[in-house]
Structure 1
Amino acid sequence: MSKLLYITANPKNCVKLSKGMQIGEVFLEEFQKVQPDVEIEQWHLYEMDIPEIDMDLLYARAKLSFMGYTKEQLSETERTKLEQMHALADRFIDADYYVFVTPLWNLGAPAILKSFMDCLFIAEKTFTNTENGPKGLLTDRKAIHIQTRGGIYSTRPMAEYEMGDRYLRKALEFLGLDLMDTVIAEGMDHFPRMLPEIMAKAKEQAVKAAREMAIENVHIE
């Protein structure tokens, strides 16, 4: 059975309060129409215990990568945090499809998303280093980002300042995932009277994207 991992990074963990999650719900509903047997697992990052790269994790990774330590030689705290990071990455790897729903905050994504993505960058698990540079190992998987923006960042003068969608796409591409075009709802704060129109357009894009993702079955060895 295929699995879709639905990941939200918004403290407003309520569909009624989150415009992004409203669009995300439309995506999920359409996806399930095409693939009714798909397993959908939802991760709300603000409700999860996401390990952060602190001093313990920095030293744990350094000790194992180039300082000659074994896992058994790590401190209990270092070992526990490292195991939490690997466990989260293993759960992520287990999916076939990924849907990220995030807002654009202060030019970037919520900080918790960066902490989450940091947990996925594990050499020889999600990427490997080759003679031609790093190569992502999470191939044959599809992902899409649904992003909400208060302002207009798809055109100048603000286009060059958008670093939320740009970061997530580059990070996922680095890991080997196949990225679909981002579904964007923007200008909601700048043009509140146009909110119904903005949401309708984004939901229409989400439906189209869900159909496209669902009909392209993926197979993971």
Structure 2
Amino acid sequence: MTKLLYITANPKTDSKLSKGMQIAEVFLESFKREVPEAEIIPMHLYEMDIPQIDMDLLYGRAKLSFMGYEFEQLSTEEQRRISAMHALADKFIAADYYLFVTPLWNLGSPAILKALLDNLFITNKTFTNTEQGPKGLLTNRKAIHIQTRGGVYSNGPMAEFEFGDRFLTKALSFLGLEVMDSIIAEGMDHHPKLAPDIMAKAKKRAAAAAKEMAADKITS
């Protein structure tokens, strides 16, 4: 079955309170029309226990990757932390399509999104090192990012300070995913009177992007 992982990094889990999720709902409706058999799998990061890179996870991963340890040689806590990391990565890998929805906070995405990505960078599972450099292993998958911004960062003096969308899309590309052009709704706090028009245009782009994403169906 075709699977789309719907990842939100926002403590607002009610779409009535989140402009990004309102745009995402239009995307998902359009995608389901194109791929009615698709399974939409929500992943609301603020409702999950995302493994953080602490001492146990840091050393457990190092022992397995280049220190010559076997999994059974790790401490009980290291085994637990590594197992949680791989379980999360396995859930991510099992999908065919990915929809990320985040706000822009303090020049970047919420920290919990970085925590998720930290669990996805696993040598010989999601990427490998070759003589030509790192190579992503998560090919034949598509991803798109919906981001809402109170200010304007796509151009002007703040453009060089946007690290949320830029980091996410580069990280996903590194892992081998095909990343579509992001859907950005920005300036709604700076220009509140324009917010309805900004949202309407973003929703229109979302519907079109979903149709484009589904055009070349991925076979799991």
Please give the TM-score of this superposition, normalised by the length of structure 1: 0.98
Q: C-alpha offsets along residues 125-155 of structure 1, whole Å, 9 cap, x if unaligned?
A: 0000000000000001000000000000000
Q: Is the contact between residue 65 and residue 123 of structure 2 (CA under 8 Å) also seen in structure 1?
A: no
Q: Secondary structure of the residue that 1:195 maps to in structure 2? A: helix
Aligned partner of 1:65 in structure 2 is 65
Aligned partner of 2:92 in structure 1 is 92
Aligned partner of 1:196 in structure 2 is 196
- Give, as a single letter, the amino acid of the residue that structure 2 aligns with 1:48: M
Matched residues in 1 for 2:158 and 2:185: separation?
A: 15
Q: Secondary structure of the residue that 2:197 maps to in structure 1? A: helix
Matched residues in 1 for 2:66 and 2:35: separation?
A: 45
What is the Cα deviation at residue 63 of structure 1?
Answer: 1.1
Q: Percent sequence identity over matched residues? A: 70
Q: C-alpha offsets along residues 178-205 of structure 1, whole Å, 9 cap, x if unaligned?
A: 0100000000110111110010010000
- Aligned counterparts, 1:60-209, within 5 A: 60-209=60-209
Matched residues in 1 for 2:107 and 2:46: separation?
A: 20
What is the Cα deviation at residue 66 of structure 1?
Answer: 1.9
Structure 2: tracts of 5 or more residues without a match: none
Aligned partner of 1:18 in structure 2 is 18
- Give, as a single letter, the amino acid of the residue that structure 1 aligns with 2:164: G
Q: Secondary structure of the residue that 1:16 maps to in structure 2? A: helix
- Give, as a single letter, the amino acid of the residue that structure 1 aligns with 2:64: L
After TM superposition, which residue ranges in structure 1, 4 or more long, deviate above 4 angstroms? none
Q: Secondary structure of the residue that 2:5 maps to in structure 1? A: strand
Q: Secondary structure of the residue that 1:144 maps to in structure 2? A: strand
Q: Is the contact between residue 20 and residue 101 of structure 2 (CA under 8 Å) also seen in structure 1?
A: yes
| RMSD over aligned Cα atoms | 0.7
Q: Secondary structure of the residue that 1:42 maps to in structure 2? A: strand
What is the aligned residue count?
220
- Give, as a single letter, the amino acid of the residue that structure 1 aligns with 2:205: Q
Q: Secondary structure of the residue that 1:7 maps to in structure 2? A: strand
Matched residues in 1 for 2:27 and 2:13: separation?
A: 17
Matched residues in 1 for 2:36 and 2:62: separation?
A: 44
- Give, as a single letter, the amino acid of the residue that structure 2 aligns with 1:6: Y
Matched residues in 1 for 2:94 and 2:33: separation?
A: 22
The alignment status of 1:35 with 2:22, answered yes or no, reads no
Matched residues in 1 for 2:138 and 2:74: separation?
A: 28
Structure 1: tracts of 5 or more residues without a match: none
Matched residues in 1 for 2:67 and 2:207: separation?
A: 50
Matched residues in 1 for 2:37 and 2:71: separation?
A: 40
